[in-house]
Structure 1
């Protein structure tokens, strides 16, 4: 009589059932990871937009405005003649809408509230007298993800035009902390 080769149908069903249970346990943690990746994507997009605005201001030796939408995390970079000017369509350098990428349900809150623009001068410094925002907090809506699971990120603007992304929830000893 020959020895048995392979595996039986019962063994295969048990293996598939065990794999299904393990996958069902892992799915919620993958959901949190995906949502936190969306927060990071939106924060990096805003940080990159600010860096583009600063670099273009130096390159053009002109005033360049970074305008963040007060509704979502979309933004536009444009050259302006006066600090009070809005971004005209023909002077637009670069823009990003929320439909580009996976930033749905991500909120961007500026400090001080109400001012969603920063103007860089030809030296790459923040234009004096424009009352720019100094930080942007990027987080997920609490209807989508609990505050405990969410990994909020913050973008800080220094007076000299420096742009830094950090995590406000980390301790002082961590270099990623604000």
Structure 2
């Protein structure tokens, strides 16, 4: 049985060029949206990393019955890192005791730098201190030994850390005086429709 020449016919050069052109246009249209999605994902990764760091500091303070501090820094995340408000890296460390009572030689617990790696802007205080009850506490720079102080919020507010990128997503990590750690979307107000939103300034 003979096969018709029409059945064996492939794409013409014009058809192939039109198809490739349409595919290229679709790809160009998708690239900005993909770049925006990736940048927003980096903001979330940085905020979640910091949220976990706050919970780690709180847990270490309660487990070891001593003050733990969450430090923002622009330096490498090591024990000797210099605190910096709005730093893109963080460390969790313990505050040295004034009396040698057999405490661990190393006060460094853990560090991270997701905000720096993702180009995420951070706003927030350099030090956040947790006491042995897992609550935020105020300490002078002399007490922390880090040339920076910890300041606990009033009962009606929370220490606030903002993670953002230009023209894109903005997330907050809120740490209340009692020690509650919460991640919320700064571009939404907390409500029944937006349980992931942040509380309004008045609430």
* TM range, smaller chain: 0.7 to 0.9
User: In the TM superposition, what is the alpha-carbon distance from 1:7 to its structure 2 partner?
Assistant: 2.8
Structure-2 residue corresponding to 1:177: 197
Structure 1 ranges of 4+ moved more than 3 A: none
- What is the TM-score of this pair, normalised by structure 1? 0.79
CA contact (8 A) 1:73 1:103 kept: no
Structure-2 residue corresponding to 1:5: 8
Residue of structure 1 aligned with 2:123, choices 97, 109, 112: 109
**Corresponding pairs, count:** 160
- What is the TM-score of this pair, normalised by structure 2? 0.70
CA contact (8 A) 1:154 1:168 kept: yes
Q: Does 1:131 align with 2:151?
A: yes
Q: CA RMSD in A?
A: 2.4
Residue of structure 2 aligned with 1:18, choices 8, 22, 43: 22
Q: Which runs of 5+ in 1 are unaligned?
A: 84-88
**Alpha-carbon spacing, 1:27–1:124, altered in 2? closer, same or farther (3 Å):** same
Q: Aligned with 2:71: secondary structure?
A: strand
Give deviations 1:108-130, integer Å, cap 9, x for gaps: 111xxxx3111112221112454
Q: Which runs of 5+ in 2 are unaligned?
A: 74-83, 99-104, 140-149, 154-158, 199-203
Q: Does 1:97 align with 2:113?
A: yes
Residue of structure 1 aligned with 2:89, choices 60, 63, 74: 74
Residue of structure 2 aligned with 1:118, choices 117, 121, 128: 128
User: In the TM superposition, what is the alpha-carbon distance from 1:101 to its structure 2 partner?
Assistant: 7.4
Q: Does 1:64 align with 2:68?
A: yes
User: Greater relative contact order: 1 or 2 (C-alpha under 8 angstroms, separation 6 or more)?
Assistant: 1
